[in-house]
Copies of this chain bind each other. A is one copy, B any other.
Amino acid sequence: MHFCDEIDFTKEPSFRSPDKTEKENKVLESLDQLFEVLQLKDGDTISFHHHLRNGDFVVNKVMEEIHKRNIKGLTLAISSIFPCHSPLVAYLEDGTILHVITSYMSGPVAEAISEGKLRGKLVMQSHGGRARAIMEDELAIDVAFIAAPASDRKGNLSAVDGNAFCGVLGYAVADSIKAKQVVAITDTLLDKESHTEIPQERVDWIVKIDAIGNPQGIISGTTRITKDPVGLSIANKAVEVMVATGLVKDGLCYQSGAGGVSLAVTKTLGEYMREHHIQGDFASGGVTGDLVEMLHEGLFQRIYDVQCFDLVSAESVKNDESHISMSAEKYASPYRDPCVNGLDFVILGATEVDLNFNVNVTTGHDGYIMGGSGGHQDTAYGAKVSIIVSKLHQSRIPLIVDRVGVITTPGSTVDILVTERGVAINPRRTDLMDALTNAGVEFMTIEELQEIQHGIIGKPSPKQRENKRVIGVSEYRDGQIIDRIYEV
């Protein structure tokens, strides 16, 4: 029934007069105080964001309080899980946490889940898929806990002030809009609003604690540029391929993943742009200091930043208007033409690629979870040309397999594979084949590249999947289930 139809004109209004002396105070002095007012019960869904990455203290502190209160069967909707979150293993085992929904996992929690220690289900989403699921009420959050580097007393949250400043809170924005209750946890209470990213109307409580994280932990494993000569030769080849497409020109829009080879591509691309006086439009993604340097140099006009991978980029968001923070939706939503749709290139990693160009970045060769889509699915779809950069084998572990352990990103959105032994192009992209042929850049089929790989490390025996227990699913950004994840 329509809202207006429900209004009964014949009924005498029975109005309860408001008492204006009863005003709210959002600021609480401890997590203990919070749990006195918070509505949280068995079976609820709680969410966290991961901008403090491996330096985060908030998840463990909150989960410890929840565990103390013996609340069980929670769904943990957390944008990523890092090694620092190892205390959660005990909470999987004792049923405090029932289901886990995340976009990336590495470390002890990932291992424990791979070994079957989660009682409920694991759902792996992309960054854009997570925002979609939240905004569509598919993933309904009861309480969102937001690690906020700084907040005023009204709940205007800033990521560029405070001790543990992380630059951006892009992955927490959808949570803040949709969660029934929103808790900001901060170590820095500001007298006045400053650099608000999430405004006060999205926040129910502000809890002041001693420290929300160690800013040094923002830099974690995947975000260091490779020094390996093979990796560097792949990066050089990738840039050669990019140039061959004709898209490396003024107005270029670019993103790379956080892997060491991908970051090397960015550096090499920068050198090419500098040499050829190319001025790009925007670079986006999780952002590193290298990209910030390219912005300052004028190689790009803008950075769109959903997450800072180091402190240089976190500083830059604060001080540079052309370094623009964005929400996960703006970055990567499957709807409403997100930033990823504007990309010319995205450079991504892979642990496995199959003959249909399906990519696995979720599990390792041994089947253990050691990553997840993050923005992999989103950018592969959005970019005009998605390029996977990877060694063809690593310690005799093959890149190209008949069937990837888990499909993270569907092959229909993966365009080019660049390895140290050759380049393969997705047969859908005859336009790219033409461009590379015209530019004199050699390429082959992925079957040919696999043959080369077999020549070096032999043909691996096919892995068994079917008799193993399913522990979770890999979800595509639009909500479709793309693959199952198996127990190790």
Task: Please determine whether B4 and A120 come into contact, CB atoms closer than 8 angstroms.
Answer: yes
Chain B: minimal CB distance from A344 (Å)? 13
- Say whether A29 faces chain B, with CB atoms less than 8 Å apart: no
Task: Please determine whether B199 and A330 come into contact, CB atoms closer than 8 angstroms.
Answer: yes
Q: Check A381/B18 contact, CB under 8 A, given A9-B473, A201-B336.
A: yes
Alpha-carbon separation in the docked complex, A24 to B335 (Å): 9
| Binary B-proximity of A13-33 (CB < 8 A = 1, otherwise 0) | 101111110011110000000
- Say whether A342 faces chain B, with CB atoms less than 8 Å apart: yes
Task: Please determine whether A7 and B473 come into contact, CB atoms closer than 8 angstroms.
Answer: yes
Choose, from A228-236, A269-277, A475-483, the stretch at the interface: A475-483
Task: Please determine whether A193 and B324 come into contact, CB atoms closer than 8 angstroms.
Answer: yes
Contacts of A482 in B (CB 8 A): 13, 15
- Say whether A302 faces chain B, with CB atoms less than 8 Å apart: yes
Contacts of A19 in B (CB 8 A): 412
Task: Please determine whether A336 and B203 come into contact, CB atoms closer than 8 angstroms.
Answer: yes
Task: Please determine whether A478 and B18 come into contact, CB atoms closer than 8 angstroms.
Answer: yes
- Say whether A204 faces chain B, with CB atoms less than 8 Å apart: yes
Alpha-carbon separation in the docked complex, A339 to B192 (Å): 12
- Say whether A327 faces chain B, with CB atoms less than 8 Å apart: yes
Please provide the chain A residues from 466 to 480 with a CB less than 8 Å away from any CB of chain B in the complex: 470, 473, 476, 478, 480
Alpha-carbon separation in the docked complex, A407 to B18 (Å): 14
Chain B: minimal CB distance from A197 (Å)? 12
User: Chain B: which residue is nearest A327 at the CB level?
Assistant: B201
- Say whether A139 faces chain B, with CB atoms less than 8 Å apart: yes
- Say whether A43 faces chain B, with CB atoms less than 8 Å apart: yes
Alpha-carbon separation in the docked complex, A23 to B334 (Å): 10
Task: Please determine whether A17 and B484 come into contact, CB atoms closer than 8 angstroms.
Answer: no
Closest 4 CB pairs of A and B: A201-B329, A17-B412, A4-B99, A9-B470
* 5 new A-B contacts at CB < 8 Å, known A9-B121, A199-B326: A7-B481, A18-B413, A20-B413, A23-B337, A193-B324
- 28 residue pairs of the A-B complex, CB under 8 angstroms, read A2-B43, A2-B45, A2-B99, A3-B123, A4-B99, A5-B121, A7-B123, A7-B473, A13-B483, A15-B407, A15-B482, A15-B483, A17-B411, A20-B382, A20-B412, A20-B413, A23-B337, A23-B341, A26-B337, A154-B337, A177-B177, A199-B326, A199-B327, A200-B330, A200-B337, A200-B338, A201-B327, A201-B336
